């Protein structure tokens, strides 16, 4: 089942003097149940606009979308969608425990169940120790985690997370990554907006890259990286000067770091030739690997070239 479907979706914001600004241009997208889907793009790409349209906070200029295989209004009534906005803001004077109980009751959970729910969610997001601490005294990472707990109150099947890692230090980011993995184990679908490539690369199976309202790329991380330029690196320990000279002639590039010599080969056959030549002269192969570049390099190339 496609849990999130977007068809020809466009959004024009009307600015000063009635001037239109196209924030989203004819977007088509489908997310399957159980995926961690990364919605990637630089600031201003249209990610938040897309989420707001899905949640009926704003309305599209044209096109249509469905959640849970239903019309948006119908899907949203089912309370099976969790949402965490970018930089969530919470009542500072409530403790984590009070805040979650309050929210649970807002969604119609009876008082006794609300307490149980809050207890369970505090444990899930690792804030049990801070349950009686005011949110104003929480670190940024803790605020994000209480935000995730709030998004989980209705036990949603789909989570829309808008930049959940923004402003977090590496440890805070790792904690959120672990939590997202844990939620995937519970069979939740996660639609995750970010401009931080490393997090997307580590977490997501499929990604969409958006730039200035246009879908630039859609596919698995592997497909996207394989579609970019690749080369091989062949490394040796302790080469004799003769072998070094000979391989340098054959290779597309050469570099030395900490006693290890790295040669660049354009393809697999080229790499094998370098290895055979070196081994015939008694050299010891250290490593041969395929370098596909990172998602970051891909992103800079794709998005940078469209400026
Ligand atoms: N309420 C609004 N009114 C006018 N323009 C807006 C509004 N919200 C966003 N925009 C513009 O729409 C574009 C997309 O914004 P947004 O969806 O917030 O991008 P992202 O979340 O990818 O950073 C940007 O150019 C932004 O300035
Ligand atoms: Mg945004």
280 lies in which domain range? 231-291
Number of domains in the chain: 2
One domain for residues 12 and 33: yes
Ligand 1 close to Cβ of residue 13 (< 6 A): yes
Nearest CA to 4 among 41, 55, 44? Answer: 55
Ligand 1 close to Cβ of residue 49 (< 6 A): yes
Last residue of a domain, one of 221, 241, 275: 221
Residue 233's pLDDT is: 93
Separation of CA 44 and ligand 1 centre (Å) = 5
Q: How many CB atoms lie within 10 A of CB 204?
A: 23
304 has pLDDT over 80: no
Residue 91's pLDDT is: 85
307 has pLDDT over 80: no
Ligand 1 close to Cβ of residue 271 (< 6 A): no
Q: Which residue has the tokens 């789909």?
A: 158
Residue 16's pLDDT is: 83
In a domain, 7, yes or no: yes
Question: 57-99 pLDDT, tens per residue?
Answer: 999 999 999 999 999 999 999 989 999 999 888 888 999 999 9
Residue 305's pLDDT is: 58
Ligand 1 close to Cβ of residue 40 (< 6 A): no
Question: 227-286 pLDDT, tens per residue?
Answer: 777 889 999 988 899 999 999 999 999 998 888 899 999 999 999 999 999 999 998 899
Separation of CA 24 and ligand 2 centre (Å) = 13
In a domain, 215, yes or no: yes
Residue 54's pLDDT is: 98
CB burial string 19-30: b at 16+ within 10 A, e below = eeeebbbebebb
| Ligand at shortest distance from the CA of 10 | 1
Which one is predicted more confidently, 183 or 305? 183
| Ligand at shortest distance from the CA of 47 | 1
Separation of CA 51 and ligand 1 centre (Å) = 11
One domain for residues 110 and 247: no
One domain for residues 178 and 260: no
Separation of CA 21 and ligand 2 centre (Å) = 16
Question: 134-160 pLDDT, tens per residue?
Answer: 999 999 999 999 999 999 999 999 999
Which one is predicted more confidently, 307 or 257? 257
Q: Residue 273: exposed, middle, or buried by beta-carbon count in 10 A (0-12, 13-18, 19+)?
A: middle
- Percent of the chain exceeding pLDDT 70 equals 99
DSSP characters over 89-126: ---TTSBHHHHHHHHHHHTT--HHHHHHHHHHHHHHTT
Ligand 1 close to Cβ of residue 47 (< 6 A): yes
One domain for residues 210 and 175: yes
Output the six-digit token pair for 7.
């068809």
Secondary structure of residue 16 in the 3-state scheme: helix
Distance CA 170, CA 208 (A): 24
| Ligand at shortest distance from the CA of 42 | 1
Separation of CA 241 and ligand 2 centre (Å) = 55
One domain for residues 215 and 235: no
Residue with CA nearest ligand 1 atom 16: 46
CATH of the domain at 255: 3.30.70.980
In a domain, 303, yes or no: no
Output the six-digit token pair for 229.
């330029």
Distance CA 135, CA 210 (A): 34
Question: 14-57 pLDDT, tens per residue?
Answer: 988 889 999 999 999 999 999 999 999 988 999 999 999 999 99
Ligand 1 close to Cβ of residue 45 (< 6 A): yes
- State the average pLDDT over residues 1-20: 92
Ligand 1 close to Cβ of residue 293 (< 6 A): no
Running DSSP on this structure, what letter comes out for residue 90?
Answer: -
Residue 73's pLDDT is: 96
Distance CA 75, CA 68 (A): 6
- State the average pLDDT over residues 299-303: 78
Residue 298's pLDDT is: 79
In a domain, 299, yes or no: no
One domain for residues 156 and 261: no
Residue 24 Cα: closest atom of ligand 1 = 14
Running DSSP on this structure, what letter comes out for residue 283?
Answer: P
One domain for residues 203 and 240: no
Residue 226's pLDDT is: 80
One domain for residues 246 and 273: yes
Residue 15 Cα: closest atom of ligand 1 = 4
Which one is predicted more confidently, 298 or 248? 248
One domain for residues 69 and 103: yes
Residue 155's pLDDT is: 92
Ligand 1 close to Cβ of residue 48 (< 6 A): yes
Separation of CA 169 and ligand 2 centre (Å) = 19
| Ligand at shortest distance from the CA of 40 | 1
CATH of the domain at 181: 3.40.50.300
Last residue of a domain, one of 221, 252, 281: 221
């Amino acid at each position: 089942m496609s849990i999130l479907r977007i068809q020809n979706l466009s959004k024009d914001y009307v600015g000063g003097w009635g001037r239109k600004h196209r924030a989203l241009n004819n977007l088509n997208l489908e997310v399957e149940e159980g995926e961690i889907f990364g919605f990637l793009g630089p600031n201003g790409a249209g990610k938040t606009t897309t989420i707001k349209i899905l949640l009926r906070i704003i309305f599209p200029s044209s096109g249509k979308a469905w959640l849970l295989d239903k019309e948006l209004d119908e899907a949203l009534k089912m309370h099976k969608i969790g949402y965490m906005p970018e930089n969530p803001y919470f009542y500072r004077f409530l403790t984590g425990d009070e805040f979650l109980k309050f929210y649970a009751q807002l969604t119609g959970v009876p008082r006794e169940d609300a307490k149980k729910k809050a207890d369970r969610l505090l444990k899930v997001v690792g804030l049990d120790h801070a349950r009686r601490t005011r949110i104003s005294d929480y670190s940024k990472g803790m605020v994000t985690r209480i935000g995730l707990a709030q998004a989980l109150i209705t036990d949603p099947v789909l989570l829309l997370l808008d930049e959940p890692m923004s402003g977090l230090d590496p440890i805070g980011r790792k904690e959120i990554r672990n939590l997202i993995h844990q939620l995937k184990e519970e069979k939740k679908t996660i639609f995750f907006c970010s401009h931080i490539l490393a997090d997307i690369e580590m977490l997501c199976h499929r990604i969409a890259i958006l730039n200035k309202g246009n879908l630039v790329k859609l596919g698995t991380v592997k497909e996207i990286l394989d579609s970019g330029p690749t080369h091989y690196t062949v490394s040796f320990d302790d080469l004799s000067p003769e072998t070094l000279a000979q391989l340098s002639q054959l290779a597309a590039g050469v570099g030395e770091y900490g006693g290890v010599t790295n040669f660049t080969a354009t393809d697999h056959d080229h790499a094998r030739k370098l290895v055979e030549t070196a081994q015939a002269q008694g050299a010891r192969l250290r490593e041969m690997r395929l370098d596909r570049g990172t998602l970051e390099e891909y992103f800079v190339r794709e998005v940078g070239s469209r400026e």
